[in-house]
Chain A
Amino acid sequence: MLLLLLIGPRRCFTGNVSSGLPLEPTPPHEDYTMENFTPLTSLLGGLLIGLASAAMLVLNGRIAGISGITGGVLRAGAGDTLWRVLFVAGLLTGGVVYGLLSPESFAVTIDRSVPALLAAGVLVGFGTQMGNGCTSGHGICGLSRFSGRSLVAVLTFMATAAAMVFAVTTFFGGTI
């Protein structure tokens, strides 16, 4: 399993390098192609995400919605903050360990300026609080619970995400 953790995400980068001359420059927008399709590691990663969400349900009786748990940290509710902070600390710790073992799993190869990243963050933060959820809460948990609200939310954010990607690639050449 550990071996898989290490080789899995690396594959999607060696795929590009080995397909041509090592020194041949590849434009950033060609980093993601069918060559990078990772059905096995993506499925396994998804199973782990499902397992973590299921544990949150069975043990703590809550929805594993990242934006809801994180946003609740900012709402100073008495006695309701520590578990949220610990969940986020778990996410961060997971990132620290995984990042040390496999830094390339966190490579940001898309071309985004600081203002664009900040704007993306504000939209994600504002939108998930307004719409009560993100990919985890509405996506994995909500769809599995056959929630009509979550289905509407998922279809909506998938559509606007695709529209944004289309706009950035078409009008800005993938760099913003």
Chain B
Amino acid sequence: MTPKAHLSAFGTGLLFATGLALSGMTLPAKVIGFFDFSRGLESWDPSLAFVMGGGMLVYLPVYRFVKGRARPLLEDRFRLPTRRDIDFRLVAGAALFGLGWGLGGFCPGPALTSVGAMSSKALIMVAGMFGGMFLFQQLDNLRSRQRERASSNAEKAA
């Protein structure tokens, strides 16, 4: 990767953090307020929908414009997801993430940005987040090793 691509990664993170903080996503109470309908619609805070809407308002047309291009400006090729299958992992993973988001009021971006802003609560949450990421990756590695072993054993038997 070129130095320019690295610089762009840093700049993108910087801009992303600014957007998150301006939008109110770094305030867990606002996130909870979006998901809390228990006090009726008068006290519901729909701000989060405006954040998502704003993001898509920019990203959607840019994605459609970029889709037919051969390569990005600073890298040799696009690295975009290609999977289309909806499997158990996708749904279960998303479900667990949602439970954590609702419990702490932080999703990964705002949590990391808040750590930069010296929020001790966000730091605790991020420590847990890295632990959870590490745990899943270890279990995933273990499972794929077991599968490899099982398939090589099956080959030997055949």
* A-to-B contact residues, CB < 8 Å: 4-5, 8-9, 12, 28, 31-34, 36-39, 41-64, 66-67, 70-71, 74-75, 79, 82-84, 86-96, 98-99, 102-103, 105-110, 112, 114, 116-136, 138-145, 147-149, 152-154, 156-166, 168-170, 176
Contacts and interface: CB of A to CB of B under 8 A. Distances in A.
B10 A57 contact: no
Main secondary structure of the interface of B (DSSP, over half): helix
Contact of B33 (A5, A36, A53, A139): A36
A74 B140 CA distance: 13
Contacts of B22: 4-5, 8-9, 41, 44-45, 48, 105
Give the size category of B's interface with A. 35 or more
User: Considering the complex of A and B, which 9 residue pairs feature the smallest CB-CB distances, nearest first?
Assistant: A46-B54, A90-B13, A121-B128, A95-B116, A131-B93, A45-B23, A94-B17, A125-B132, A99-B117
Contacts, number: 531
A75 B47 CA distance: 35
Contacts of B107: 66, 124, 134-136
Interface of B: 1, 5-30, 32-33, 35-39, 42-48, 50-60, 62-63, 66, 71-75, 77-81, 83-86, 89-109, 111-119, 121-122, 124-137, 140
A12 B30 contact: yes
Given A33-B42, A45-B23, A62-B72, 12 more contacts: A31-B33, A32-B36, A54-B62, A86-B13, A87-B10, A91-B112, A94-B17, A96-B117, A98-B113, A99-B114, A153-B93, A159-B95
